[in-house]
Amino acid sequence: MLRRPAGRAAVAAAVMLAAVVAAGAVGDPSGLLAPVGGRGLPPLGAGGVYRWAPLLVGLPVLLAAAVMPILTIGASRAKRPAWWVFLITWTSVVGAAALATAVTGLAAAAPLTGPHLPVGLTLRFAFATSGFAALKFLLAGPLVAAAAALAYRFGPADEAADDPDRSVPVAGFAMAVMFVVVTLAAVTFGASWWRGGPAGYAFTGALLAPSASAGPVGYLCGLAVFLGVFGVTVRAMRRRLANPAPTVVAVTVWSAATVAGLATGVVCAVGAALSSPAGPADGPDSWWIGTTLLSAGTGIGYGTTVGLIAAVVAGAAWRWRAALAAVPRRRLVAAPVVVLLAALPLLIRSYAAPAPRPVAPVAAAEGMQRLHLLPAPDTGGLPVIGDVTGRQVILRGVNVNQLIDYHLRDPAIPATEPLTDADFAQIAAMGFNVVRLGMSWSRLQPRRGEFDQAYLQQISTAVAQAKAHGVYVVLDMHQDAWGNALAKPDEQCGGGTSPTTGWDGAPAWATVTDGTAHCQFLARDLAPAVATAFGNFYTDRDGIQSELVRTWAFVARAFANEPAVAGYDLLNEPGIGANPPISSGLLLGRYYDAAITAIREAEQAGQGFAHLVFFEPSVLWSGLAFDVTPPPGFTDDRQLVFAPHPYSESITMDQGFGLTIASIERNLTVSARAAAAYGAAYWPGEWGWFGDPAVDGAKVARFGAAQDRLGIGGAFWVWKQGCGSPETGPDAKTSGNLAKIDCVTGAPIVPPTGFSQPLTRAYPRAFPGRLETLTADPVNGTLTFAATADTEANCELDIWVPGEAPVRLATQGVTGAASAQVPGGWQVTGCARGTYTVTVTR
């Protein structure tokens, strides 16, 4: 083999590619860039297929798929320069990385398929996200290609070389096959490849992609781009191929499709950048970085997938090319046209996400009203949170962490402050109508199979106290970096890493790390022990995930009939696991569906009602402002609220590099698009700033203005923070950022005006119909909003206005408008019907 140029190039490519993989696995402490694992993540060990699939399945596929084009095309013995081998190898490495990622994901997820993870969803997700891993090899590929080209260039040459036979119509044949495959893909799995997929929120405005979701014009333009690049690439390769065999044709088709997929992704990236410029009220950002990565990865995955299908078809059909040559040309040309005409009805069909079913409003009950989702007012809009009387409800409030079981840095200094009725009284006096109440699995189920009734009673007491003050509660299964059992402050770490300090979440008995390193890099979630613990959770090793699902059933049964509980946040900032995005996307969705099923069964057993379900993308969204999300369709439940943590311009990782990928406004808008793909409402479950309120207060005000434009609420982090919290430094004089604590005296500190003023601004808490416009001035305490009410809905308004100064009302379409002073401000009421407006001045 080494005497042949192609053989030397293939061996050199395999050796260099293996070296790149090994270097990444050993040298990347984050695990995000490493092709296989990361520092401290052993490639083999306990944990089943999920753990060993990357090495025993993914790596062989990667190496084989990378060298096969070199060997196959090299077997034709045609003359070709070294730069041509360089390009072929680079393309092969990128395509091989996508294929290896897809196969690895399938192998890892296959044992977990079942009622909560359908096989079809697994296949689509594995291939649709395969291109994101290939992006890493798009950068590493030139190293491998250079090694192959040098090995090809130097050494013994072939004794004879055949001139290419250009009389064989490979290009036309390949184009016809690819046209049929792409057209059929556009109305099947490709229909949700771009929009409607796990990264569909990146594609706004005009979409030029070979997908039915792009519409007829977008499909035709995308088809032209893909087939145009594909055809040019096939022709370029054909000029240097001699008498192509079926395997050579198949490899040519696959390689050309990979190039065409990348080109299509680049075109989509340009379209996304041009279609989503920053608005006049938006902060400057570099969102093009996010859309480029997402678009290019999506395109590579698409090209590799359709290329694989077309390669199989083309390779098989090429064996019977003599028979095909006997078919009249008119019939051969007509076949693709027939396929296009057959697919046309599906290409012009509109594709919309599932939505909550309309429910007739009911009469208002005493006390707090049950919440559920109201359908979007128009096609393409978002469902909204509302009550059963038909009013839209904006949930605006704070996170409460005072029941979370944090790791104690110093047992003498509490990590949390006591939670009392006075907290909820103060929360209500700031105009908040919701708290996201963190609770810990480690306290709910401290021992396997045993639930702590006393801790559940603490949660019930908090819910009752909130209810007494008219405040809803979102019960949040909180965790940070898996759990407090991961603390190893004495761990010996190197290479820019530091020991894990321990946080909160899972109990010790559910923490399985398989001896991986407790050293974090850049962020607490990028520690091998954290990734391993989450990987074992996602694969339900030893029934760990099943126990958390049982825990949710225990909680939901207790609150089955409680209207003050708005819903359940299934897991705070889920970790990425050791095999993202399969772990942090596909398998996270599997857990969500299992938890939702258990919650609904518990609610039925308690003769209760279906509460809202809040779900989040992985922690990467909090750190990057984008991520591959769980696949739309992971559940059939329709009471869904997408609740990411938009920390843009606050604690996202880009801030450490002096860069803003997504501005505050961009993050909220993009998150709303992601919610739309699920047919879910949107509610930022956690956000905040932690610096000087005199400086960061302006950003809080911008966030609030963006909330008002979208008509959404959210929960600020955090109400109170104990001086012994892992988030508070050991030498800190104060703790928290809103209701701060003096760590010297233990006394409370008045909330800073820079934060409290924009947070407590006026807003309609509940109102009939659907919101059209909303603007509030946090400095003057004024408000203007307009809405259109359904005559069947409850007509009662509930508007919060902060401050002591009396309010003046100007209304249209509202009867009985009045204001009454309440703790902290004013409550405006009235009956609104039809199209109405409310203006509040001082």
Please tell me the distance from the alpha carbon of residue 71 to that of residue 578, in angstroms, as a whole number.
33
What's the rounded mean pLDDT across residues 360-373? Answer: 93
Cis peptide before 581 (omega within 30 of 0): yes
Which pLDDT tens digit goes with each residue over 780-807?
999 999 999 977 789 999 999 999 999 9
Query: What pLDDT score was predicted for residue 168?
Result: 54
Looking at the predicted structure, is the pLDDT value of residue 811 above 90?
yes
**pLDDT category of residue 318 using cuts at 50, 70 and 90:** confident
**pLDDT category of residue 626 using cuts at 50, 70 and 90:** very high
Query: What pLDDT score was predicted for residue 196?
Result: 86
Nearest-10 crossing angle of helices 246-275, 170-186:
50
Burial degree of 367 (CB within 10 A; 0-12, 13-18, 19+) = exposed
Structure tokens at 315: 């390779």
Global pTM exceeds 0.85: yes
Residue 773: strand, helix, or coil: strand
What's the rounded mean pLDDT across residues 346-355? Answer: 64
Structure tokens at 118: 């359908």
3-state helix/strand/coil string of 456-471: HHHHHHHHHHHHHCCC
Query: What pLDDT score was predicted for residue 340?
Result: 59
Query: What pLDDT score was predicted for residue 54?
Result: 84
Looking at the predicted structure, is the pLDDT value of residue 825 above 90?
yes
Query: What pLDDT score was predicted for residue 227?
Result: 95
Which pLDDT tens digit goes with each residue over 13-67?
999 999 988 888 777 766 666 655 555 555 555 567 777 888 888 999 999 999 9
pLDDT, greater one: 400 or 187: 400
Q: Work out the mean pLDDT of the chain and round it to a whole number.
A: 90
Weakest-pLDDT range from 277-281, 527-531, 666-670, 828-832? 277-281
**pLDDT category of residue 333 using cuts at 50, 70 and 90:** low
Query: What pLDDT score was predicted for residue 334?
Result: 62
3-state helix/strand/coil string of 747-758: CECCCCHHHHHH
CB neighbour list of residue 717: distance below 8 Å, 6 or more residues apart: 398, 399, 686, 687, 688, 737
Share of the chain above pLDDT 70, in %: 90
pLDDT, greater one: 35 or 362: 362
Query: What does the CA dihedral 832, 431, 697, 810 come to, rounded to 10 degrees?
Result: 30
* Residue carrying the six token digits 């090809």: 152
Please tell me the distance from the alpha carbon of residue 161 to that of residue 422, in angstroms, as a whole number.
87
**pLDDT category of residue 497 using cuts at 50, 70 and 90:** confident
Pair 572, 479: CB distance under 8 Å: yes
The structural domains of the chain, ordered by start, are: 1-161 (no CATH), 163-352 (no CATH), 398-760 (3.20.20.80), 762-842 (2.60.40.1180)
Query: What pLDDT score was predicted for residue 32?
Result: 64
E-strand spans in 602-722?
612-615, 640-642, 681-682, 714-716
Structure tokens at 96: 């091989």
Query: What pLDDT score was predicted for residue 350?
Result: 55
Please tell me the distance from the alpha carbon of residue 320 to that of residue 301, in angstroms, as a whole number.
30
Weakest-pLDDT range from 24-33, 127-136, 682-691? 24-33
Query: What pLDDT score was predicted for residue 352?
Result: 66
3-state helix/strand/coil string of 185-238: HHCCHHHHCCCCCCCHHHCCCCCCCCCHHHHHHHHHHHHHHHHHHHHHHHHHHH
Count of CB atoms within 10 A of residue 461's CB?
Answer: 14
Query: What pLDDT score was predicted for residue 47?
Result: 66
Share of the chain above pLDDT 90, in %: 71
What's the rounded mean pLDDT across residues 98-122? Answer: 95
Nearest-10 crossing angle of helices 59-74, 82-109:
150
* Residue carrying the six token digits 């590929």: 141
pLDDT, greater one: 805 or 187: 805
Which pLDDT tens digit goes with each residue over 738-765?
999 999 999 999 999 999 999 999 999 9
Burial degree of 806 (CB within 10 A; 0-12, 13-18, 19+) = exposed
What's the rounded mean pLDDT across residues 642-653? Answer: 97
Weakest-pLDDT range from 211-215, 245-249, 789-793? 789-793
Looking at the predicted structure, is the pLDDT value of residue 72 above 70?
yes
Q: Find, among 624, 628, 649, the residue nearest to 30 by Cα.
A: 624
E-strand spans in 645-703?
681-682
Query: What pLDDT score was predicted for residue 81?
Result: 83
Query: What pLDDT score was predicted for residue 44?
Result: 56
Q: Find, among 335, 367, 352, 621, the residue nearest to 472 by Cα.
A: 367
Please tell me the distance from the alpha carbon of residue 450 to that of residue 670, in angstroms, as a whole number.
41
Query: What pLDDT score was predicted for residue 79?
Result: 59
pLDDT, greater one: 767 or 196: 767
Please tell me the distance from the alpha carbon of residue 644 to that of residue 626, in angstroms, as a whole number.
10
CB neighbour list of residue 55: distance below 8 Å, 6 or more residues apart: 36, 43, 44
Structure tokens at 171: 């290009």
User: 79-93, 96-110, 350-364: which has the highest mean pLDDT?
Assistant: 96-110
Count of CB atoms within 10 A of residue 110's CB?
Answer: 15
Query: What pLDDT score was predicted for residue 159?
Result: 53
Query: What pLDDT score was predicted for residue 169?
Result: 73
What's the rounded mean pLDDT across residues 656-685? Answer: 95
E-strand spans in 769-807?
770-777, 782-789, 798-802
User: 76-80, 212-216, 352-356, 547-551: which has the highest mean pLDDT?
Assistant: 547-551
Structure tokens at 72: 């196959």
Count of CB atoms within 10 A of residue 153's CB?
Answer: 16
Looking at the predicted structure, is the pLDDT value of residue 78 above 80?
no
Residue 350: strand, helix, or coil: coil
Weakest-pLDDT range from 270-279, 437-446, 682-691, 774-783? 270-279
Pair 164, 235: CB distance under 8 Å: no
Looking at the predicted structure, is the pLDDT value of residue 731 above 80?
yes
